[in-house]
Chain A
């Protein structure tokens, strides 16, 4: 399942402040790793600290409490539903299990349901040229009410596909989980602007407008097929063209297998640009 914006949050607080004895140091680190690996956010509250209940949602507070705590309580104002659990005598797997149990019981969404892969726009570099919008095949980009390019449907993005960032002439699109810079957010260096050249190369490879080129290739292949009646050769030609594009932009194979039609993309882009110009 992919995320919805403003989903209610479920957090864990490890309370080691007043009225709760600290955990054994090794247990604390192990518990943190166990919970983070399961996708939970954990606030470590240490001596002198207090429970911060300013972020709405559910907060499970674990502690070696000196006194009995209510299982559930509401924060002042009622924005946060607090769940207190005693962890005295528990080992790390038991504490991790307890967290899962409370989340389950409170019907909070399960974390770690989606690898968060989506483009992030560096607006200090973006020139609003809309190349990303016209290039993306999966409707990830849109235009704000102010005519500004924005990531509109992040969950539509195809995991591990960084293709839109490769065609951005300003190196303004990041994928923080990408292996290499500057797409991963590393500083943009002078040599990275070579990507501008790469974009030109891709255009050259495909004869200018990528979709027009693909169409021409397709028409060319059809013409050859008509002339030579060589279906095999035409298909080979198309495969070669797509393979070059795939390699140049580091596009996963499954993305190539799910391309929408060129007409659909053109219509969608024209509509978005018209909205931006209104």
Chain B
């Protein structure tokens, strides 16, 4: 009994910590989910947190970040993170109409509603899929190969991305062979390299004279910060009063649908659901506000479902979120491992049962809502003002470079660092010129570690 109480308290504490930490990170635009969630979750895993605490930390962090990312998106017109890029068009319309506070309130209320719906549905879908788990585990290398090609085809690069998988996977295999010669085995370095790829590519571009000229600016960038408007009383406005019945219904529907479609990229699902819902609403203002509500809901539900379903049903990272930001829940050697040959898994999948996933998942979501929702409702303007006036982009970039250095050196010394830079530059260039996006790159990594050994075994 005491053990259970300890487990619950630890889960609550780590959930709270995740929610507070990522509420703050969400305010800083440019902080991508993978670059922040993955290394910090990894750290929590390696420091020996109990399984339930690892889950609540990750989920509460993801949910909180997708609420506070609404602050730069709605008030400054810059996407708070990668998934917020899908919302920027709607947010800008509302900002220019002079009602950014409406965009903000609708977004976070939609997020709260969707997050609460997504956890039980994700667990339910996972339970339905679980019977196929053994078959999928047995054929894991081939499932990953198919998933990689599918995700590549649905990326912006279409066939270019499908074909570019070959050289990309080859480079990863080559790098692994090289580091193995020195007794170094890397995993996080590849993830981080992929996640910070656009930054690494930008920094390289700055050193090339022609590119540098293109990046040159002759004045400060102007941001118009929306004025502060508080249209409600109290500290915790009811989300169901902020959005109307139809918006609640649409958000719930979008969250339910996207809780099942866990193999597609969150950004793509956010765009598609917005289009589907928008087409059904005729009046422009209602359409705009309903779409932005549902879209932010989808950023929450896809993250929750894409992390939980593969984790509960298979224990294999079979979705873009599971392969990227949620990767440490699956694979954090030496504590959590996925065996490439046997498909044997040893991670949260084995350590928590369905009810625990449900219970701790709900706990994480509720903790995140209790922290991030009132904070965003009440202090959005001050927060956006502070971040835009005090936190320079130089500092943000420097922080990420620091992260790259520490993680690279930590995992593999100089070799780890070189791998991050190599993968970052390659991934960044492929992403920029071919639309070979980050989700495809993560799947490329898994193809290299899981499918390639199986392919070689087959050919021999």
> Are A and B genuine complex partners?
no
The residues of A with any CB-CB pair to B shorter than 8 Å are none
Residues of B within 8 A of A (CB): none
